[in-house]
Structure 1
Amino acid sequence: MTITISDLLRAAAERAVPVVRGITDDQLGDATPCAEYDVRQLVDHLFQVVVNFQLLAAKKDTDFSAEPLRAGHGDWREDFVRETEALVAAWAVPGADQGVTGSMNMPAGLVGRMALGDLTVHAWDLARATGQEFAPEPVVVREVRTAFRELAPTARKMGVFGEEYPLPDGGAGASDFDRLLVLTGRDPGWRRQ
């Protein structure tokens, strides 16, 4: 049986949603492993990702220039649940992973894996920042690592990824997820202060 992007996004969302639900309002100003964002900003960025990548699945243009202000407003945790469900549904539409996307003009399958990567890596960022446990689905990690290895040089030039973080002992004993995190410039051992 073939695993679709929608299946992978569903698996990633099932791991990310409990993390977002576990964030307390008093943690919204805390630092995250994603240095340019605190918890509030990272939640808002993740909203931006799940909403815009719904449009990209439908081959529509997106606007990543303005991030929404969702965290801390209304029932933002349940809004995130609804938006991730809509993301999964958008990528389940026949043909969503075929051809090229809207304004990104990239292969749709790769773009779907970008959304998968953001949902997975940023869920880890938020879990670490707020003292929660997070273990991604192994099949999701494999898919994201493959896509991110392809995207890493361009992502670094654009400032989306940091330089690859060095693993101690040359990576002996590092998990696949640790290897994914260092690929994006993250320290897998990051802990909140």
Structure 2
Amino acid sequence: MATQTSDLLALAAPRTVAVVRAVRDDQLHLPTPCRDYAVRDLLNHLYDVVVAFQALAAREQVTFAAKPDHLGQGWRDRFEAETRRLVAAWSDPASEEGVSPGMGMPQPVVGGMALLDLTVHGWDLAVATGQPYEAAPQTVPVLRELVAQLGAQGRQMGVFAEEVTAGPALPELSRLLGATGRDSAWSA
């Protein structure tokens, strides 16, 4: 089976997996558009997100307190496998029902947060390591709606930085990035 969330994750995941696979070991120290995150830090965060949101699909409690380094032997293959598991976890129609006990939000919003991290952090990693990145076109309008819904709360919690104005002539991805506090013209 599939859900709207799993369909969108299935579109976004290969793009981010391709970026992650192309990150070279000599790039792990580079800065990213995420304040205080080098490439290694962001990869570890994204790995944690991909694993945690599998559990959130099943309404399990998760904690983001532990900060292990996932970049040992075979980390690129493991990231790809965990991303496939993420898509599969959100394929269960029950994953989109009700409210997340741990997050206190409707399950579709929680699934959207996983999609947002895959997409935006995929761009973050790509731009930090000099790779091209194009978001799945079907995901960007959905994510712009989600960020509009969660933006104020996300900024209060420090998840998003202050909005960066991106004019209507810019691509939709640039406007999404701006809404999360990123400048689409960022460079190291």
What range describes the TM-score normalised by the shorter chain of this pair? over 0.9
Which residue of the partner structure matches residue 24 of structure 1?
24
Pair 1:82-2:81 in alignment: yes
1:45–1:68: 8 Å Cα contact kept in structure 2?
no
Q: Partner of 2:138: helix, strand, or coil?
A: helix
Give structure 1 stretches of 5+ with no counterpart.
none
Q: Is the 8 A contact 1:8 1:140 kept in 2?
A: yes
Q: What is the CA deviation profile of residues 144-180 of structure 1, one whole-angstrom value per residue up to 9, with x for unaligned ones? A: 111111000000000110000123xxx1411111110
- Aligned counterparts of 1:161 and 1:78: Cα–Cα separation in 2: 29
| 8 Å Cα contact 2:60/2:102 also seen in 1 | yes
The answer for the alignment partner of 2:186 in structure 1 is: 190
Tell me the residue number matched to 2:40. 40
Structure 1: 4+ residue segments shifted above 3 A: none
2:151 aligns to what?
Answer: 152
Counterpart code for 2:162: E
Partner Cα separation in structure 2 for residue 121 and residue 67 of structure 1: 20
Who is 2:94 aligned against? 95
Match of 1:14 in 2: 14
Q: 1:107 to 1:172 in 2, by over 3 A?
A: closer
Q: Tell me what 2:126 maps to.
A: 127
Inter-partner Cα distance in structure 2 for 1:172 and 1:155: 23
Identity across matched positions, percent: 48
Partner of 2:171: 175
Distance of 2:112 and 2:45 partners within structure 1: 17
2: distance between equivalents of 1:162 and 1:30? 20
Superposition CA RMSD, Å: 1.2
CA deviations on 1:72-128 (whole Å, 9 max, x unpaired) are x11000000000000000000121011011311210000000000000000000000
Normalised by the length of structure 2, the TM-score is 0.96
Q: Distance in 1 between matches of 2:105 and 2:169?
A: 35
CA drift of 1:191 comes to: 1.5
Q: Which moved more, 1:61-70 or 1:112-121?
A: 61-70
Partner of 1:63: 63
* Equivalent position amino acid for 1:188 in 2: S
Equivalenced residues, count? 187
Q: Which moved more, 1:126-135 or 1:171-180?
A: 171-180
Structure 2 letter corresponding to 1:115: A
Q: CA deviation at 1:68?
A: 2.7
Describe the shift of the 1:3–1:142 C-alpha distance in structure 2 as closer, same or farther (beyond 3 A): farther
